[in-house]
Every structure is written in structure tokens, then in C-alpha cells.
Amino acid sequence: MILVDLFEVASLLPAEWKKECASVTRELEQASTDDERDRLLKDHSDLWREVKEKLSEASHGKCWYCESKNTRSDNAVDHYRPKGKVAEDANHSGYWWLAFDYQNYRYACTYCNSRRRHAESGSAGGKQDHFPLAVGSFRAYGPNDSVDCEEPLLLDPCSVLDVSIVWYDEEGKLALNTSMVLTDPLAMSRIDSSRVILHLDHPYTVRERKRIYLKIISLCKRADRIYKSILMGNPDLRIEYKEQLAELAQFMTRSAEYSAVARCAVRGFREASLTAKILCEAPL
Ligand SMILES: [Zn+2]
């Protein structure tokens, strides 16, 4: 998970589209029954589908939650706060007033967004209408309640604090960035809830993350050997070393699939590898 900048998203969305969303939101606020609101949500659902490609553009085509590209999958516009109902609260009618607010949209792959079960491992997940909060947290029930007072347990790719607590270990699994644990007392609960509900440790994803992690360590070791040869009197290898650094940097750029995994691998290896240390210092 890497940060998705909502200011960038806002800059990509057409002004006319925003006006239409504001108009439908006013209609929703004036509706007097849940049925009337449900009808408005259904009648105008094209509005959020219309901007799916813009949301995808903001993340280089990657799912905002898991960084998968899944180019053959029909990704969706997820409502971070569910629009129609909340699985954890039977008395909640959903965060309908945010249904047409782009700040509540998250571009999500099918695995993160919809219920899926991996037959072989039994692992299951998918966000659907889930939006758990910390025990005792305030929950917003209408447009006059501030969602900023809520303590969500699902990690938000649009929050700097949330993406900073995410780590990936050498097995390719989601973990807690222990250096950030003091910034959020709920950090571990949030990692665990997100792992299950967003299905972030789906076996396919874990396997791919592990492959990238191992590849990074291998490339760093190779680059270190080349650097050592340069120091021992082989200056001709400087070009090769630069090429090796460039290849490693490709894995870490924002557009690369699972770039956060590559960054964790490099950061975890920086004490043992000069190449990893250089990559950590480089503003990629
Ligand atoms: Zn995903």
C-alpha cells in the first residue's frame, strides 16, 4: 500500500462531474426515507463508475489497497465508507451522504472489494459493506456527524499515517512497521482487520510479494559485489553498477506493482548492503 494523493485525484476530475455529484447529494439529503435514498443511489450509480479510469490513473492502474495491477480484472470504485449499509452495524443505513463524494472513493481490485475464497488454502476476504471501527469509537450516522471523529480499523491508502504503519516481511506477508507503532496505538488491530477484510494476504498476492522481496535482495547482493570489484581496481564496472541501481529503482517507483514491498526489502537490507543504503537515500 502506497499513498494515493486525493489532491491529485481532485485535479483529474471534471468540474461538471463534481457539480452533478453535489446536486445528487442535495437530493439525497432531502430524501425522507431509506427507499428513496436507495433509488437515488441506484439511479445515479453511473456517476462513480464514470470516474473509475481517473482513479486508476492516480495510481498507475494499481489497486489502492493492495497495489496489484490485475490488468485482466474489472476493478471497481469502492466506497471506503459503504454507501448503502454497514456490515458491523445493523442500525446503520450506510454513509449515503458520501456516495458521490470522490474523497470516499478507492480504486479497488476484485480481491480487495468483493467476497472471494481461495479453495486450496481456505483463505477468504473482500471488503463489501464492511467498515469496522475501534471498540468505543464514535460512528457517524448522517451528514451532520463528523466522520473525522471515527476510528476506522480499515487502513486507508489516502492517509499518510495509515500507509506509514504498513510493512511487508520477507515471506511476502502484510506486517506492522514496528518503527511507527507509537504513532497509532491501534496499529496492530488495524493491520489485522485490514488483512482479513481486504484479503490482503491472498495466497497469489503473498507469492508475488515474496518473489519481489527475494529479487530485490538478490539484485542488491549482486550490485554490492560489482561495487566491491570497482573498489578493487575495475573502474569499467561503473556502468554496470549504475545499470544495476537503475534496475532496482524500477521496482521502487510509484508506478511499479507492489512498489511498497520493494521499498520494505531495501529498507530492511540497508544495514547489510551499501546498494540498499544508496536506494534508501535516493528520492525516488
Ligand atoms: Zn486489491
Q: Which of 142, 176, 201 marks a domain boundary?
A: 201
Confidence of residue 119 (pLDDT cuts 50, 70, 90): low
Domain count, the chain: 2
CB 116 within 8 A of CB 124: yes
Distance 47 CA to ligand 1 centre (A): 22
Residues 192 and 210 in one domain: no
CA–centroid distance, residue 268 to ligand 1 (Å) = 24
What is the CA(112)–ligand 1 centre distance, in A?
Answer: 4
Whole-angstrom distance, CA of residue 121 vs CA of residue 117: 9
Q: Which residue has the cell 540497508?
A: 270
Cα(62) to centroid(ligand 1), Å:
8
Whole-number pLDDT of residue 184: 85
Cα-to-centroid distance, 202 and ligand 1 (Å): 10
Q: All 3 cell numbers of residue 247?
A: 534496475
Give distance in angstroms: CA of 104 to centre of ligand 1.
Answer: 16
- Compute the distance from residue 259 Cα to the ligand 1 centre, in Å: 14
Average pLDDT over residues 226-246: 95
Place of cell 511499479: 256
- Domain shared by 79 and 220, yes or no: no
Report residue 57 as a C-alpha cell.
490513473
- CA–CA distances in Å: residue 5 to residues 55, 153, 252: 10, 20, 17
Say yes or no: 20 and 53 in one domain: yes
In a domain, 1, yes or no: no
CA of 42 to the centre of ligand 1 (A): 24
Could you tell me the distance, in angstroms and rounded to a whole number, from the CA of residue 170 to the centre of ligand 1?
Answer: 20
Q: How far is the CA of 105 from the centre of ligand 1 (A)?
A: 14
The Cα 136–Cα 122 span in angstroms is: 31
53 and 139 housed in the same domain: yes
Q: 110 C-alpha to center of ligand 1: Å?
A: 7
Are 209 and 197 within one domain? no
Distance of CA 9 from the midpoint of ligand 1 (Å)? 18
| Residue 41 one-letter amino acid | L
In angstroms, the CA 266 to CA 221 distance is 11
Residue 127 parent element (H or E): none
CA distance 1 to 261: 9
Side chain identity at 206, as an amino acid letter?
V
Ligand 1 centroid, distance to 125 Cα (angstroms): 11
CA–CA separation, 4 and 262 (whole Å):
17
**What are 79's strand-pairing partners?**
105
Is residue 118's pLDDT more than 90? no
83 within some domain = yes
- In one letter, which amino acid is 251? F
Q: Containing H/E element for 78?
A: strand 76-79
pLDDT at site 124: 65
When pLDDT is cut at 50, 70 and 90, the band that residue 172 belongs to is very high
Q: Do 157 and 79 fall into the same domain?
A: yes
The Å distance, Cα 35 to ligand 1 centre, comes to: 31
Residues forming beta bridges with residue 105, ordered by sequence position: 79
pLDDT digits (tens, 9 = 90+) for 16-57: 999 999 999 999 999 989 899 999 999 999 999 999 999 999
Q: How far apart are CA 269 and CA 221, in angstroms?
A: 10
Separation between Cα atoms, residue 160 and residue 230, nearest integer Å: 39
Same domain (yes/no): 238, 136: no
Q: Give the range of the structural domain holding residue 158, as residue numbers without chain letter.
A: 6-201
- Contact by Cβ (8 Å): 35, 104: no
Q: Calculate mean pLDDT across residues 80-91.
A: 96
Whether 165 and 75 map to the same domain: the answer is: yes
